[in-house]
A and B are shown apart, each in its own frame.
Chain A
Amino acid sequence: MSTWEPVIGLEIHVQLKTETKMFCRCRNGFGGEPNTQTCPVCLGFPGALPVPNRRAIEETIKLGLALDCEIAERAVFHRKNYFYPDLPKAYQISQYDEPLCSHGKLAVPTPDGEPVIGITRAHLEEDAAKNIHVAASGRIRGATATLVDFNRGGTPLVEIVTEPDIHDSETAKRFLQLLRQTVVELGLSDAELEKGSMRFDVNVSVRPAGSDELRTRTELKNMNSFNFAAKGIEREIARQIRVYEEGGTVEQETLHFDPAHEESPPMRSKEEAQDYRYFPEPDLVPVHPPEDLVDRFRTEIGELPGARIRRIADTLSFYDADVLVTGGLDRLWSAVVDAGADPKEAANVLANQFVATGTDVSAVDAGELAKLVQARAEIPRAAFDEALAKVGEAGFSADPYLAQKVVADASELDPVIDRIIEANAGQAAQYRGGKHGLLGFFVGQVMKETGGKADPRVVNERVRAKLG
């Protein structure tokens, strides 16, 4: 039986959080009443002329540098023509053969090696408007209408395209997480999947292992979570392998995973699909990024997430390093460790418990958090949880929580444990009969009885000794 190698390429769209749109100075932002953030340019009125947003160009260059791209000395905007209600000009201003950034790469740290994924290009374009498909008011049964809100129309969008260098779903997921974190740290975008400010499509094909052919690929569109993407990729790989092994052929097609988030351009018949009739946008002149600006941006880019994962993985496990960095927690972690906390303990608290509190990382006093981390075993769990939930509040002090001591004295705990064993004689018998999973039940009862103040490790030990 032959083995198969998946070939995966990604196309990612990121909404820039500029103040204004890409080619006009209407406000760029969520939440406005429909069509209130519009003007003749973004409504496509005849004669209106686009003027590029300088900051959007600069931020795309920054991203290009972070992705190790060549920054074009001459970048050109093109018109991509297609007909759809979300596109009032019947063309999208995009970039074609002279994008701002190209030939980049991103090394993706994984537990076993660091695949380097080629970045074909990163270019700038305008987003389409938002279509709302509705049922019509009943004149023709089953008919629908489309309502259009142009607030999003014309907002700046960066498109990043990778080479088909990815060969498993896990790497695809890590790439996306790393890219997201990079974009967020550069301050370009919120890159929130739920809000659609980061969206991605995945191209998947498979080929016989060892060959370098590129077979027909399918496109998975509109995936709204990294895990969802990984699962979708795996399912599609398995499907294609099955098709080939049964002697069939894979058809080129687009698979929509979340129809509620359907985005333009819509699926079209095959002969039209690539007929965008690109040509240079005559209303715009070329962009020539000033060299001193590019050089300055280059020096301003700090240590990137990939490099930090690599560095932190020297101290912690790869897993911890990855979770901290892609979760945007590693800088706080460093500060907490510098303030005296144990590195591993600090990582556990941040990645497992702190994250669940939803606290803004930048609001946290690292010194106070370090105190909490160090005292975790000595203070009651309930006090620790409460303190952690409040660690982002202004003027937070860990001291009152540190003053509450956990009950770790066996002589104090034994009577409680005895009482609980007595009250649950049935379970005690089962435990003694070998059902050791019941240990948690007893520990839980003791914790409840002591109002969460007992030291779970001591309780564990004592319960086991008494039931043993």
Chain B
Amino acid sequence: MARITRDEVLHVARLARLELSDDEVSKFQEQLSDILEAVSKVAELDLADVPPTAHPLAIENAWADDVPRPCLPLDEVFANAPDRDGDYFRTPPA
């Protein structure tokens, strides 16, 4: 099983806007590779006739009627917000 490359770690980190130290890059390279390896165990089985499984339960059409319910009060909306500006969330420039 191919290991995750250093560049792949950096690419994924960039997509998630994460800044990683050199040590962290090595650490995640190791950890992500291990995860991939563990999952690739499944590939040892003959799965030619098995459709990809996206959900463990064979159910469908779990939906709700279009009826409004109460929203969250503003103090709860902003309870964990790192930066609030009036009734807006404030973020670094996008």
Contact = CB atoms under 8 A, between A and B. Distances in A.
Interface of A: 18-20, 25-27, 33-40, 43, 45, 51-57, 74, 76, 81-86, 90, 131-133, 136, 143-150, 266, 272, 275, 277, 280, 282, 284-288, 290
A43 B78 CA distance: 10
B3 interface: no
Contact of A40 (B16, B63, B72): B72
22 contacts: A20-B69, A25-B67, A26-B71, A36-B71, A38-B72, A45-B80, A55-B65, A55-B66, A56-B66, A83-B17, A86-B94, A133-B94, A147-B85, A147-B89, A148-B90, A148-B91, A275-B15, A285-B55, A285-B61, A285-B62, A286-B54, A290-B61
Contact of A20 (B54, B68, B74): B68
B59 interface: yes
Please give me the 9 A-B residue pairs with the lowest Cβ-Cβ distance, nearest first.
A280-B54, A147-B88, A55-B66, A25-B69, A54-B63, A34-B87, A144-B93, A148-B89, A85-B91
B74 A35 contact: yes
Contacts of B55: 280, 282, 284-286
Q: Is chain A's interface secondary structure helix, strand, loop, or mixed overall?
A: loop
Contacts of A52: 62-64
* Residue in B11, B72, B74 with the greatest tally of chain A CB atoms within 10 Å: B72
A174 to B, nearest CB: 32
A145 B91 contact: yes
Contacts of A33: 87
A133 B77 contact: no
B91 A288 contact: no
Contacts of B60: 74, 285-288
Interface in B38-80: 54-55, 57, 59-69, 71-72, 74, 77-78, 80
B61 A36 contact: no
A90 B85 CA distance: 21
Contact of A35 (B89, B91, B92): B89
A74 B52 CA distance: 14
Nearest to A82: B15
A299 B17 CA distance: 50
A25 B88 CA distance: 21
A329 B71 CA distance: 39
A146 B66 contact: no
A19 B69 CA distance: 10
Chain B, interface size category, equals 35 or more
Contacts of A76: 54
B14 interface: yes
Contacts of A131: 94
Nearest to B56: A282
A157 to B, nearest CB: 15
Given A147-B86, A272-B14, 20 more contacts: A20-B68, A35-B87, A52-B62, A53-B64, A53-B66, A57-B63, A76-B54, A83-B15, A132-B88, A144-B93, A147-B89, A147-B90, A148-B91, A277-B15, A280-B54, A285-B61, A286-B60, A287-B63, A288-B61, A290-B61
Task: Determine chain B's interface SS by DSSP, over half rule.
Answer: loop
Nearest to A137: B85
Contacts of B15: 81-83, 272, 275, 277
A3 B94 CA distance: 43
B71 A85 contact: no
A86 to B, nearest CB: 8
Contacts of A149: 87-88
Nearest to A156: B66
Contacts of B92: 145-146
A213 B7 CA distance: 35
B94 A25 contact: no
B81 to A, nearest CB: 9
Contact of A133 (B63, B71, B93): B93
Given A56-B66, A145-B93, A285-B60, A34 B88 contact: yes
B74 A282 contact: no
A434 B66 CA distance: 70
B61 A39 contact: no
Contacts of B77: 35, 38, 43
Contacts of B64: 25, 51-54
Contacts of B91: 85, 145-148
B11 to A, nearest CB: 8
Nearest to B59: A285
Nearest to A88: B89
Contacts of B17: 83
B90 to A, nearest CB: 5
Contacts of A275: 11, 15
A54 B78 CA distance: 29
Contacts of A54: 63-66
Nearest to A19: B66
Interface string B10-28: 0100111100000000000
A158 to B, nearest CB: 15
Contacts of B57: 285
A35 B16 CA distance: 25
Contact of B94 (A51, A146, A150): A146
Contact of A148 (B16, B62, B69, B88): B88
